[in-house]
């Protein structure tokens, strides 16, 4: 057990602290694009007769909430991917015969797997948190008569902010054994 912790410490020392890792501009752009698509999904619900928001009256709020949520989701995806990459590197061994090239290939494979995990787990978690918030938390905690625009703002931004929280990212990676 101590040797496993030493191995994890070695990986963290080599990789840098999980939140110090820099994603490339292309990664951030991809994370933001996916986040924007996912963040705009709740609008279909709010623009339906159930909530009664109209696009003509609430376009500004929808756009602003979408962009803010996309930025928060991008931050969440990046944090989840970094946490997962460290977890994957701790579980896998570098082939002895390949040297530095094998190590780079392992890091690249773990980074790709962690990125896919971050998008899948992050999107599912965001949508689950959003639905829980829109149909349970906001009506019961804030007010059952909360206007649809307030519910939209609280539910969407709250779910995205929860995913951008570093402790939630670590918990998500720890709980999902994928």
**Least reliable range by pLDDT among 4-18, 62-76, 95-109, 158-172:** 4-18
Other beta carbons within 10 Å of 74 = 25
Task: Indicate whether 23 pLDDT > 70.
Answer: yes
Burial class of residue 81 (count of CB atoms within 10 Å of its CB; 0-12, 13-18, 19+): buried
How much of the chain, in percent, has pLDDT values that exceed 70? 87
- If pLDDT is split at 50, 70 and 90, which confidence band does 20 have? very low
Spatial contact of 118 and 77, defined as CB atoms under 8 Å apart: yes
Q: How far apart are CA 85 and CA 71, in angstroms?
A: 21
- If pLDDT is split at 50, 70 and 90, which confidence band does 104 have? confident
Q: Would you state the pLDDT for residue 19?
A: 39
Q: Would you state the pLDDT for residue 2?
A: 61
Q: How far apart are CA 130 and CA 100, in angstroms?
A: 44
DSSP 106-156: HHHHHHHHHHHHHHHHHHHHHHHHHHHIIIIIIIIII-TT--HHHHHHHHH
* Domain that includes residue 143, residue range: 2-175
Task: Taking residues 33-43, report their average pLDDT.
Answer: 96
Spatial contact of 88 and 110, defined as CB atoms under 8 Å apart: yes
| Higher pLDDT, residue 134 or 11 | 134
Q: Looking at the 3D structure of the chain, how many domains does it have? A: 1
Other beta carbons within 10 Å of 24 = 8
3-state secondary structure of 15: helix
Task: Indicate whether 12 pLDDT > 60.
Answer: no
Q: Would you state the pLDDT for residue 11?
A: 57
Token duo for residue 126: 């965001």
């Amino acid at each position: 057990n101590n040797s496993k912790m030493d191995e994890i410490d070695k990986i963290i020392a080599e990789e840098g602290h999980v939140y110090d890792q820099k994603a490339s501009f292309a990664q951030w752009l991809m994370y933001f694009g996916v986040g924007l698509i996912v963040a705009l999904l709740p609008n279909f619900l709010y623009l339906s007769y159930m909530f009664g928001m109209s696009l003509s009256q609430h376009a500004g709020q929808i756009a602003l909430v979408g962009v803010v949520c996309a930025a928060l989701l991008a931050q969440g995806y990046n944090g989840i991917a970094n946490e997962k990459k460290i977890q994957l590197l701790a579980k896998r061994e570098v082939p002895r015969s390949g040297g530095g090239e094998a190590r780079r290939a392992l890091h690249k494979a773990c980074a790709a797997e962690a990125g896919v995990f971050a998008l899948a787990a992050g999107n599912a978690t965001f949508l689950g948190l959003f639905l829980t918030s829109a149909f349970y938390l906001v009506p019961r905690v804030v007010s059952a008569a909360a206007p649809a625009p307030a519910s939209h703002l609280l539910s969407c931004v709250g779910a995205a902010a929860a995913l951008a929280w570093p402790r939630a990212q670590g918990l998500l990676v720890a709980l999902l054994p994928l």
